[in-house]
Chain A
Amino acid sequence: MIQQVWAKLTDHLDPFLFAMVTTIAALGLLVLYSATNETLGRVTSQSQKVIVAVAIMIFIANLSPQFIARFAVPLYVIGIVLLIGVALGGEIVKGARRWLKIPGFGNIQPSEIMKIALPLILAWYFERHEGAMNWRNFAVAAILVVIPFGLVVRQPDLGTALLIGACGFYVLYLAGLDWRVIVGAAVIGACLVTAMWHFEVGIHDYQKERVMTFLNPEADGQDAGWHTTQAAIAIGSGGLLGKGWLNGTQTHLEFLPEKHTDFIFAVYGEEFGLLGGVVLVVLYLLFIGRCFVIAANASTLFGRLMAGSMSLMFFTYAFVNMGMVTGILPVVGVPLPFMSFGGTALMTLFIAVGILMSVTTHRKLVNS
């Protein structure tokens, strides 16, 4: 009986992926304890969320990719409906409609659903046209990307919109989107952004400010540039080996804003130094590398596209977050995967890991 349960729990677990994510998550809890000034409240709540997320991950891993694919259309439709709901009557937090209050369900952030739902429907769609793909299929796929992207941009939440767009794009890219289209779209996009910037249409002041701040953080060291400047001071002052766990002055004297959420890497960098940074990057690389292996070896197109886009999504999260904290990318609201405090992103990420495990473990079953 116990053996059966154990088998049920572990059969579809990829040990390497599991080891990597739990290591990173454990590291995250350690840093979180320091970032919350050595109080257990948030650490406990985050631990509970990790446990729930791991449970969901195991549950998803046990579902076959084919079964998961059945949810592609409903999930996408629900996601779009909720996004429209947000646009019509979402909770306004800090000037943006991002949350939707559903009675008896609490607050949810529909844009988060889209990070999974969009790749899912695209992978499902491409699999249906496997072997006979033409430009029309890509056009349809592009529309599927543009709808949620546009809705999230309007919230406004450019960071999440770009992540959703990226997830969609990864599927299109892996499905074989023509290079000429990719290059062409990139050129047009760049021109469009430049024009919007120049004529100040469809772009919010805060977005412009963030970019300006990114280009020159010290110019506004007290206000908009504060995040970037203080994060750079934290990381830079950490040096080779860091100031030691719980000893970061930037962290513990409240110089770091958002230090338990989006800027948790600054805490990590201050207390664990370059050595810690290298260890974390290596952990992410190993984790993402394993995801790539799964994607490369997936037996179906759906599995390949899902696994591939999820791998790239992990990379995007990790790179964009660390990039913005270290000041090589502008500040966008992207958490550090498996480390930042907060349940929503954690759920999405573990669901994605679950899908990857499903793809790899069910392939073995098919083969055997």
Chain B
Amino acid sequence: MGAELRNYDQELFWYQRRLSLAAVVVVLCFVTLLGRFVYLQVVQHKHFATLAEANRIDIQPEAPNRGIITDRNGVVLASNYSAYTLELNPQKIPDLDAAIDEVAKIVEISSRDRRRFKRLLEEFRTNDSLPLKSRLTDEEVARVAANRYRLPGVEIKARLFRQYPFGEVASHVVGYIGRISQGEKERIETQGLTANYKGSDYIGKVGIELSYERELHGTAGATEVEVDASRRVIRTLSRKPSVTGNNLQLSLDIRLQKIAEEAFGTKRGALVAIDPTTGDVLAFVSKPGYDPNLFVDGIDPQNWDLLNTSIDKPLLNRPLRGAYPPGSTYKPFMALMAQELGVRTAQQTISDPGFFRLGGGYWRDDKAGGHGAVDLVKSIIVSCDTYYYQVAAETDIDEWATFMRQFGFGQKTGIDIDGELTGILPDRAWKAKYRPKDPKLHVGDQVSLGIGQGFNTFTPLQMAYATSVLANRGVAFKPHLVKSVQDARTSEYRLTQPSPAYTVPLKSAHIDAVLKGMAGVVTGGTGRTAFLKAKYASGGKTGTAQVFGLRGGDYVASQVAERLRDHAWYIALAPLDKPTIALVAFVENGGFGAEAAAPIAKKVMDAYFDSTLLDAAIKKPIVGSEAIAAASVAAEVRRAR
């Protein structure tokens, strides 16, 4: 009994000891817990508060509407329209082909759509949805919507599309936009524009769309929304609306442009018309062109191959990136140079035997037997080679190049689209650098250059620019395609080219002599046939750029493969007394300038001086203000959805 009592007491004692120990543990554990609270809610509070906000708030970018491009008269060349697209999200669809087949049962999916989608898929590995079919009809939208439950990852989206109502016309000027590529994304990042491109799918790829991307794109807006865990929008917290891109007014007259393009027919070539008193580019033709609308929502591989591999190179911007020897169109500039450098006076006469001999060299004139007595004016009118062989042989090449550089030869004109070629204006340094096997520039080289053959190559744009500087009597305006930028916020127009770039110091009498010669070309020279019935006084000069060697026997153009025929040039300015248009027409493998290029130049100038011809060129144009209104309606629709 006593032992038992002791046991009882002992057990009670142990029990209470252990209970106390447990109580201590309980308190310690709760203190630990409180410590954890303090750590989370005081020490780390800022961190977690930020995370909670990040959870809750989603920034939804709002892509701005792209600015509209119009011609100088407000005719719309690029605008936006809202349309529904059927898009697939590759991340949410394990078997894309099966999904496309499934979709194809509901709306018609052409094989072109399929190919284009495949191409997009390869090109853009994104988390976003990619368009399968664009421009859905209301009925198609309804049908897809009704079947949505069994088409996970298939989405209908309202998007703004770029539209080029004139299609091929002026395609090389306006260019096109396309989906932002990986490379462009990186470029946007390095330029620090990432925020502004959030939500934007498209970017300018070539032409004005590319070079004026900053103006056209606009400023992205953003909507701050509160979302739940499944990213569903609960409410809008704040909204910063996007600002539409600035509108561009081109210096181009689309009527003139269209007439010029039609004048080429199926011929390949280039035409640039500039208002020499402002630098406004009135027409800028590269033939053949392409339909920029094909590129807007991703070009399909078939069309891409067609454009890319065509022997006609429709994607080549010829005025900008085609460099050719100027041929005889160089002669007026040579004539001006000869006077300015004191090599010739206008009155000096030479006797042309039909050839030129220097050292061991022999150069023939294009007229057998020669032109007889030739002065400066006549040399231009009849395009006398011998006259210029002599001038070339007597001129220092470096002085020559320095003079020509003032007219923009062999230099970028600085026109406001990207990709311009420099061309070649040879001097001693050039030859030494680029012809190391024969680094000396021989007098023989010079003789060829005197008639615009040989090493020198200029772009049609450079030729047009040089002509415009000549036409404006040395006062140079940088050529520009965009006349003014309309600020989207203020609606104010801002001129891109307010004043002349520089003035070439020229003697007025020298210019007059050259212009007299150019006038003679039209009235009684190589341009006579083409300009027989012109109602205005113009000056011009034909040219033929040789595709292969000048020396060697006669050749008959028709017997040479068409692609090896000479290129035809024609430069022109009008009206003679105070020119308001300076242009160059260039026909690739066109043969003689007088036959191939001059008639095209005439058609354009005829129209330029006759508004009824201009107006007949296009039907009812879409005028800028209407398109802007339409675009803003489209934007409203998009916002409302």
Contact = CB atoms under 8 A, between A and B. Distances in A.
A281 B56 contact: no
Contacts of B126: none
Interface stretch (B42-50, B259-267, B629-637): B42-50
A237 B51 contact: yes
A149 interface: no
Contacts of A235: 37, 40-41, 48
Interface string B370-387: 000000000000000000
Nearest to A237: B52
A131 B10 CA distance: 9
Contact of A281 (B33, B44, B228, B229): B33
B478 to A, nearest CB: 57
A174 B14 CA distance: 8
Contacts of A131: 4-5, 7-8, 11
Contacts of A175: 11, 15
B234 interface: yes
B52 A233 contact: yes
Given A236-B44, A304-B15, A255 B33 contact: no
Nearest to A309: B22
B24 to A, nearest CB: 11
Interface string A334-364: 0000000000000000000000000000000
Interface string B399-439: 00000000000000000000000000000000000000000
Given A130-B8, A131-B11, A234-B52, A253 B29 contact: no
B36 to A, nearest CB: 5
B618 interface: no
Interface string A254-286: 110000000000000100011001100100110
A192 interface: no
B19 interface: yes
Interface string B196-239: 00000000000000000000000000000011111000100000
A181 interface: no
Contacts of A269: 37, 40-41
Contacts of B19: 174, 292, 295-296, 308
A150 interface: no
Main secondary structure of the interface of A (DSSP, over half): helix
Contacts of A312: 22, 26
A173 interface: yes
Given A235-B41, A269-B37, A274-B38, A250 B52 contact: yes
Contacts, number: 138
A156 interface: no
A254 B230 contact: yes
Nearest to B48: A236
Contact of B49 (A133, A237, A323): A237
A275 to B, nearest CB: 9
B37 A253 contact: no
Nearest to A256: B229
Given A233-B51, A239-B49, A249 B56 contact: yes
A301 interface: yes
Contact of B234 (A253, A323, A327): A253
Given A133-B11, A308-B19, A323 B37 contact: no
B302 interface: no
Nearest to A277: B37
Contacts of A284: 30
Given A131-B11, A278-B34, A319-B29, A249 B49 contact: no
A238 B41 contact: yes
Interface in B435-490: none
A322 B33 contact: yes
A315 B55 CA distance: 33
Contact of A315 (B26, B41, B53): B26
A255 B45 contact: no
Interface centre among B15, B18, B234 (most CB of A within 10 A): B15
B41 A239 contact: yes
A27 interface: no
B23 interface: yes
B42 A239 contact: yes
A240 interface: yes
Contacts of B41: 235-236, 238-240, 269, 273-274, 277
Interface in A35-57: none
B16 interface: yes
B40 A176 contact: no
B22 to A, nearest CB: 6
A141 interface: no
Contact of B37 (A249, A255, A315, A326): A326
A170 B14 CA distance: 14
Nearest to B8: A131
Interface string A221-242: 0000000001011111111100
Given A130-B11, A281-B34, A319-B30, A236 B230 contact: no
A196 interface: no
Nearest to B44: A236
Contacts of A285: 26-27, 30
A288 interface: yes
A191 interface: no
Interface string A312-324: 1001000100110
A173 B33 contact: no
B91 interface: no
Nearest to A177: B18
Interface centre among B8, B33, B45, B49 (most CB of A within 10 A): B33
Contact of B11 (A176, A230, A273, A288): A176
Nearest to B4: A131
Given A173-B18, A253-B228, A288-B26, A233 B56 contact: no
B594 to A, nearest CB: 75
Contact of A274 (B42, B53, B55): B42
Interface of B: 4-5, 7-8, 11, 14-16, 18-19, 22-23, 26-27, 29-30, 32-34, 36-38, 40-42, 44-45, 47-49, 51-53, 55-56, 226-230, 234
5 contacts: A237-B45, A249-B55, A274-B38, A292-B26, A308-B22
Interface of A: 130-133, 170, 173-176, 230, 232-240, 249-250, 253-255, 269, 273-274, 277-278, 281, 284-285, 288-289, 292, 295-296, 301, 304, 308, 311-312, 315, 319, 322-323, 326-328
Given A304-B15, A315-B29, A326-B40, 14 more contacts: A176-B14, A233-B52, A235-B37, A235-B48, A240-B45, A249-B55, A249-B226, A250-B55, A285-B27, A292-B23, A295-B19, A311-B22, A312-B22, A327-B36
By Cβ-Cβ distance, the 10 closest A-B pairs, closest first, are: A236-B48, A237-B52, A253-B228, A254-B229, A131-B7, A236-B40, A274-B41, A277-B37, A237-B49, A237-B48
